[in-house]
Amino acid sequence: MVEVKWTPVIIGLVIAIILGIIIDLVLPGWSIIAYIIATIYVGYAVGGGYMNGAIHGALVGVVGGIIGGIIALVLLGALAGAAGVGLGIVALIIAIIVDAIIGAICGAIGALIKGNA
């Protein structure tokens, strides 16, 4: 069983949020690059093989997806009422799935870059 190293996960979340905001200001719609960079960092920071990096990267993706989905839920609910809440729930589910997959792949890549040190 993999022991979760929370420090790299939290740092990865902060990187994803800050870079996501900056990238979205410069290149609207391309904030997924922030998740890619953050999860590669997390995989590199935890090391210990590709599976360890994938688990930690997916964890960053799931938590980041939940945060992004809740923001979408609140904003769409405020703008479009009940229909917006329904769309926000769908956005939450999609964000969790997509971010977890991207996080797992990029976390594994980051761990492979570091190697089995």
Q: Which two tokens stand for residue 76?
A: 């769409």
Break the chain down into helix, strand, coil percent, rounded to 5. 85, 0, 15
Closest of 97, 42, 41 to residue 66, by C-alpha: 97
* Dist CA 70 CA 85 (whole Å): 10
Give the per-residue pLDDT at 93. Answer: 87
Domain ranges for the chain: 6-114
Q: What is the pLDDT of residues 45-103, one digit of tens each?
A: 998 888 999 999 999 989 988 887 787 777 777 777 777 677 778 878 888 898 899 99
- Give the pLDDT band of residue 117 (cuts 50, 70, 90): low
The model carries a pTM of 0.84
- Give the pLDDT band of residue 41 (cuts 50, 70, 90): very high
Q: How buried is residue 34: exposed, middle or buried, by Cβ count under 10 Å (0-12/13-18/19+)?
A: buried
Q: How buried is residue 26: exposed, middle or buried, by Cβ count under 10 Å (0-12/13-18/19+)?
A: exposed
Residues 6+ apart with CB under 8 A from 30: 23, 24
